A and B are shown apart, each in its own frame.
Chain A
Amino acid sequence: MRALIAAATGLALALALVLTITAMGTPTGRTSPKPLLTTVPAHP
């Protein structure tokens, strides 16, 4: 019974960690103020 509880705890922690990370997601940021280029840039 104790082994089952320990395994369930490990599983719950893994789920909690992954769900938290994915819920935070990736930052969207803001649209870049830089223009669409009509001149040739000197370098990247």
Chain B
Amino acid sequence: MRRKASLVLLACAVFCAALSPLLRWYAFPRLARIPANQYQDVVLEAKGATLLDYGTMRSRKVPKVTIVQTLRGDVEAAKKIEKSAGLPVVVWDGLSYVQGPDGKMVSRVSERYIFDAHSQDPVHAPGEAVDGDTVKRDGIEFKWPFLTQKRDYEYFDAQARTTSPIHYKGTRTFRGVKVYYFEQTVPWTKVPFPKVMPVQGITPESVARTGTTRWYSTVRRFWVEPVTGAPVFGEELHKEELRGGTLLGGRAKVTAFAGDVKMREDYIEHTVALVKHNRTLILMLTSYLPRGSLILGLLLLSLALWLEARGRRPQDPAPTQETEPEPVSA
């Protein structure tokens, strides 16, 4: 009976010990994925921003500029690309809609971002675009990979349509969450005009004919929760200028937009709560379950060995009768 119990314990011990690496290195990459049907929105605000009035072509201070950023997963497109790429793929259709203080549209830029659902590496497939222009991303965008590392990452800049490093600048605590702080500075770069301009009748082509060009520079900051790779807070010190051409009436340049763009407070609270919840789910696969099952496996193995050792211990010898010594003849 004791022998049987030790064999059952041994089977359980091997089960638990084997489960540990299988969960961490086999199940985790296959189960921790961005859902293909994800839908999320975030509101960012730039208070006390400078904005170009296209009527007078002069910059003015405005109380607030609001940016609504929406991401929507296209499940059908993801399935199609998955078949050819042989990877779990997510296709995000995004829209950055910028609204002035009067509620009127300042700009709207659409995007299609295709990436690996687990690693977040960009996947190149037809349709990858920014504002209708075909692009080839070589870096991440919006989100970092699961189990983010303390190192620089390549980050895609949708305005410049280029990829450059975003630097790891240290570990911090944000609203009670341990985060990695990343920063990227994009120097003044000539960028295309948005396809949809804020004034009717003005198109990027008509502006281009005047010789005026659009320039942009930004300091991009992200506070990233490292387990989920999700930014819990984002900020951009964003500047845009129009330079040269006849549109500016002899001026060399005019500020089109300048502001400190930050996530709105209610969205920060919502994101922090969501990330805390998702962090626990990821930790279940990467830490809690693998470690727990390994410890349990070792305990069960010790118990099995102990039972086995007790079963094999020799029985105490039976008491023997004392006998009188036989007389020895001389």
Contacts and interface: CB of A to CB of B under 8 A. Distances in A.
B23 interface: yes
A15 B30 CA distance: 15
Contact of A41 (B10, B36, B37, B41): B41
Interface in A1-44: 2-3, 6-11, 13-15, 17-18, 21-22, 25-32, 34-41, 43-44
A36 B72 contact: yes
B211 to A, nearest CB: 31
B31 A22 contact: yes
Contacts of A30: 37, 75
Contacts of A37: 41, 68, 70, 95, 97
| Chain B residues touching A, range | 35 or more
B15 A6 contact: no
Contacts of A43: 266
B296 interface: no
A14 B12 CA distance: 9
A13 B293 CA distance: 14
A38 B105 contact: yes
B160 interface: no
B31 A2 contact: no
A6 B75 contact: no
Interface of A is mostly: loop
B195 interface: no
A21 B23 CA distance: 10
A8 B23 CA distance: 18
A43 to B, nearest CB: 5
Nearest to B3: A2
Contacts of A21: 27, 31
Interface in B1-51: 7-8, 10-16, 18-19, 22-23, 26-27, 30-31, 33, 35-37, 39, 41-43
A21 to B, nearest CB: 6
Nearest to B28: A22
B56 to A, nearest CB: 25
B78 interface: yes
B99 interface: yes
Nearest to A29: B37
B37 A40 contact: no
A31 B18 contact: no
Given A10-B13, A37-B41, A15 B18 contact: yes
Given A6-B7, A10-B15, A36-B93, A41 B72 contact: no
A7 B11 contact: yes
Nearest to B93: A36
Given A22-B30, A36-B110, A11 B14 contact: yes
Contact of B72 (A3, A7, A11, A31): A31
Interface in B73-125: 73-76, 78-79, 93-95, 97, 99, 105, 108, 110
Interface of B: 7-8, 10-16, 18-19, 22-23, 26-27, 30-31, 33, 35-37, 39, 41-43, 66, 68, 70, 72-76, 78-79, 93-95, 97, 99, 105, 108, 110, 266-267, 270-271
Shortest 10 CB-CB distances between A and B: which pairs? A10-B14, A29-B37, A44-B270, A36-B95, A32-B39, A14-B18, A10-B15, A10-B11, A6-B11, A18-B22
